[in-house]
Amino acid sequence: MLDLHRLVLLRAVGLHGGITAAARELAYSHSAISQQLSLLEKEAGTPLLEKVGRSAQLTPAGLELVRNTEPILAALEHAEAELAASHDQPLGVVTLAVFPSIGRGVLPAALVALADAHPGLDVRVRVLDPEDAALRLVSRQVDAVVTDSYPGTQVAPTGGIHASVLGRDAVRGYLPAAHADADLERLRTLPWVMEPRASASTQWALRVCRELGFEPHVAHESSDVLFHLRMVEAGVAAAFLPDLVVRETGSRLAPSAQLPADQHRSILFLTRSGAQAHPALAVIERAIADAFAESVSRAD
């Protein structure tokens, strides 16, 4: 009989890229995970990990075992959701990961509404980059994630995720005031500020620029989108900025007529598959969606 806890540890090694990284994320010692996985290999009767350089990766048998573990975990999530539904009110601790701009601009209002309507619910917030948040969700380190998704980009690094749309947020291009009328040739030479290159927002932004016929000169990188806005205001860089960020600052920046005005990102609520009907998660999702809609209506 295969031990479920050991299966979860094997899955974590695959997600995090090795035993050392999995141990760090799960607050285990390296030796504790190694011992548990050695026992799992004995139970399975086949090698599940193989050495690659100084790390370890899953063998084909290990990968197949993890794939078969996903529906088991989803069934457990579903069972927990049904059990929670037997209570009169959502109860307990829920850890929620959010990206910074929605954490600042929307979440406080949602938390006030939740405290009034569901006093037995204890929502604990972690402000994380979207990529890190999704990984922590599938690793069971957080219970739900509010993230964003840009057209043509991947929502999460793995399966086992249920996503629902909370709303859409326009993303517009902004140029330094001195270059507000820049033509295509000038757009090629302007310095831009974007998030790190591997991020979904930057991959999307690069594609938008290329479709317009130019390769942007990305001179500055930062995960802090407020920094992007301040760089545009200072006249030292161009940027793509979500409406949510511009609204929260009260900035008077005007979007560029040279850049597309019909682009949007989706604001998503992520849970592990099977957990989406959990009463606590359902009321949190609704409260955040309502707070986001209210922020948009105030701007209109």
For the segment(s) 4-81, the CATH number from 3.30.465.10, 2.102.10.10, 1.10.10.10, 3.90.79.10 is 1.10.10.10
Question: Which residues share a beta bridge with 127?
Answer: 98
The amino acid that residue 214 corresponds to is F
Residue spans of alpha helices (H) in the chain: 4-16, 19-26, 30-44, 60-84, 100-105, 107-117, 130-138, 184-189, 200-212, 225-233, 243-249, 279-299
Tens digit of pLDDT for each residue in 111-169? 999 999 999 999 999 999 887 888 888 878 899 999 999 987 766 555 678 899 999 99
Q: pLDDT confidence of 35, banded at 50, 70, 90?
A: confident
Domain boundaries, the chain: 4-81, 89-300
| CATH topology classification for 89-300 | D-Maltodextrin-Binding Protein; domain 2 (3.40.190)
3 state DSSP class of 37? helix
Residue matched to tokens 């330094």: 176
Contact 133, 163 (CB under 8 A): no
Q: What angle do CA 148, 179, 215 make, to 5 degrees?
A: 55
Contact 191, 237 (CB under 8 A): yes
Contact 80, 278 (CB under 8 A): yes
Q: What is the pTM (predicted TM-score) of this model?
A: 0.79
